[in-house]
Chains A and B, each alone.
Chain A
């Protein structure tokens, strides 16, 4: 099956066609980065998840966090659920690991702001 998507690598917005039956080959791109994006996006779409966790004793009641690498799109809600169980105590430092290998994705959830 050929899947169609808009490339987001740059603002141009090329319409990519990705052939799932032909090793996810990409047409419609105007640069190699577009081909890579299309291939990856259909074969194994991933995203960096950013969210917050509870924080006690800080300037704010929530501390921002992110996965330190892109995780499979299908895992995002599982990771969100895992974050509900996290509660940090101030001070925290940017880069500090909150959850290691979250939901077996190989990614760590890390703090993005020292609070």
Chain B
């Protein structure tokens, strides 16, 4: 019987395990399906990680390395090359591996840290031929950074998510021509520094409110794409076509939390995040099962993943030690222009000094406020000079304030100041 089983050995799982160890759990197991720890950070060889967490700029492997080093000083056990097939509400974890066969493991608590996957061409329905040469940015990144292969020489990138932007620079550095980055929305989904350093540095045009409307193949490989400007209803405007002769299309069109295990376990899901509904301590609807990182909601910075996961690990330790949350529950609703919140539920009696609430806004804001209200009356407001959908927002709701709330739900709203 383990005190804690962590499903996934990426940044979320590593931080959760380290923090649970620090809080006194002894029998901790990380299950990782890959041959090494670190998850997707292993292929994110660019720098820019860790500014919040370590106050310095690290590459992905370096950031993962810091946590792997930390883990080495603990007694946390690791199973690599092992796949979790099923978890259930009795805290059983079914796993298989070539080394150990089929095993059913049991744990007092579980942290889900499976991360996310990329949206594909099929999910967004790009018309045209279906040749080789259409890759998700992350697959191309793996081929390039770990296997040492170029997926293309003349590339059009659809979507301005950070992985796509990073790949625009990587491919350019490796000698490819990136012809354009095409974004459906009127604003970029990526960080400003990536727009500047990955596109503008290299003269790669960014077409906002545009999309790929046709992919043409020649001899089984992409040979041409057509791009159209979109009207306010995101419909292609006839006559605005841009034509690109290229051999590759990279897709950076969003990430989806990987929650098949979560759903199969019967854990309550939030259709807005595609992740589990969680409480202030990252506990899911099944007591003793926690979730953290991109499996809960897609983060923009790994630093926030680490912080959230440390809370989950600590909460798992508290659960195992028998500390049960007391008192009532407050649901957090999203008001105007807020697309989701994590956590979705608060138990004020279980909030230490303040509850960290993460969310994303639906549009770009200048000089705005975030308002938290109960029964239509504002409780507290937070000023923000700038907010954008590509950047996660968060607020700290003080325990003192929560203790005064009588309502069963509070609402988070974004609006102009």
Report A's interface with B, CB cutoff 8 A.
5-6, 8, 11-13, 30, 47-52, 54, 59-62, 64, 66, 73, 76-77, 80, 94, 112-114
Contacts and interface: CB of A to CB of B under 8 A. Distances in A.
Contact of B148 (A62, A73, A80): A62
Given A8-B196, A11-B386, A112-B61, A60 B146 contact: yes
A5 B201 CA distance: 12
Contacts of B248: none
Contact of A94 (B61, B146, B201, B391): B61
Contacts, number: 74
Contacts of A50: 45-47, 59
Interface size class of B (residues with CB under 8 A): 20 to 34
Contacts of A8: 192-193, 196-197
Contact of A47 (B146, B195, B201): B201
Interface in B193-235: 193, 195-197, 201
B192 A13 contact: yes
B173 interface: yes
B304 to A, nearest CB: 13
Nearest to A13: B192
B386 A54 contact: no
Interface of B: 35-36, 42, 45-47, 57, 59, 61-62, 65, 144-148, 173-174, 191-193, 195-197, 201, 385-386, 388, 391
Given A30-B385, A113-B59, 13 more contacts: A11-B386, A12-B385, A12-B386, A52-B144, A52-B145, A52-B148, A59-B36, A60-B147, A60-B148, A64-B145, A80-B173, A112-B61, A113-B62
Contact of A11 (B35, B46, B191): B191
Contacts of B36: 59
Contacts of A73: 201
A8 B388 CA distance: 14
13 contacts: A5-B196, A13-B386, A30-B385, A47-B197, A50-B59, A51-B45, A61-B148, A62-B148, A64-B145, A94-B62, A113-B59, A113-B61, A113-B62
B11 to A, nearest CB: 14
